[in-house]
Amino acid sequence: MTSSRSKLSLVRFFRYAFVWLFVFVAVIAGAANRTWQVTGGNWNVNFVWTPDGPAQPGDDLFFPEIGTNFFANIFSANDLPPDTSFNSITINSNGDDVYNFSGNTIVMGGPISSAASTQAHNWGIPVKVLSPQSFTFAGSVSGAIDNQSALTLAGTAVSDMFIAAPISGTGAVAINPTPAPYGVSFDVA
């Protein structure tokens, strides 16, 4: 009896392990590089991204210069479920476009960076840090940061990172002093 029970337990274990492996591979395989292509919209809308389709967990999100040939305030709102995790977020606006981010909390699966931008932006999305990450940003950060791991903050060659929201949690926070002359400043009440 004991032998057949342990065989049954082992079979169940492998069935569950296979199912979880399948789900994990399906989530990873579904991740994509998505590029923002409009001057305003929600992350859960098909036509705001290339390729078409709403942003998905595990995606790498890119926010480029939209190419409007004039100063544009671009509004980008995360209306996906709270705690959606993305692999990385890159803001690369090399013209006059300024991104204004708002919406639900995200989990950082990788870095958030606007290091290549030539403009300062506004980040209003709350962020959860569950593994060591970097947040390199030019502009204002008004979304709260829940740091449960190790977080490195840095300004860019364009502007300071202005932290105007609380940083909470048990994780360590490091300030990267490069690239000079800009760094990180805090204005939290």
> CA of 187: how far to CAs of 31, 98, 170, 184, in Å?
36, 21, 20, 10
Task: Give the pLDDT score at 16.
Answer: 46
pTM to 2 decimal places: 0.81
Backbone angles phi, psi at 61, to 5 degrees: -105, 130
| Structure-token match 């036509």, residue found | 47
For every one of its 189 residues, what pLDDT tens digit does the chain have, with 9 covering 90 and above? 556 666 656 555 445 444 343 334 334 446 899 999 998 999 999 999 999 999 999 999 999 988 766 678 899 999 999 999 999 999 998 778 899 999 999 999 999 999 888 888 999 999 999 999 999 999 999 999 999 999 999 988 888 899 999 999 999 999 987 665 678 888 866
For residue 154, what are its two tokens?
Answer: 């840095």
Residue 107 in contact with residue 131, Cβ under 8 Å? no
Farthest-apart Cα atoms in the chain, separation: 77
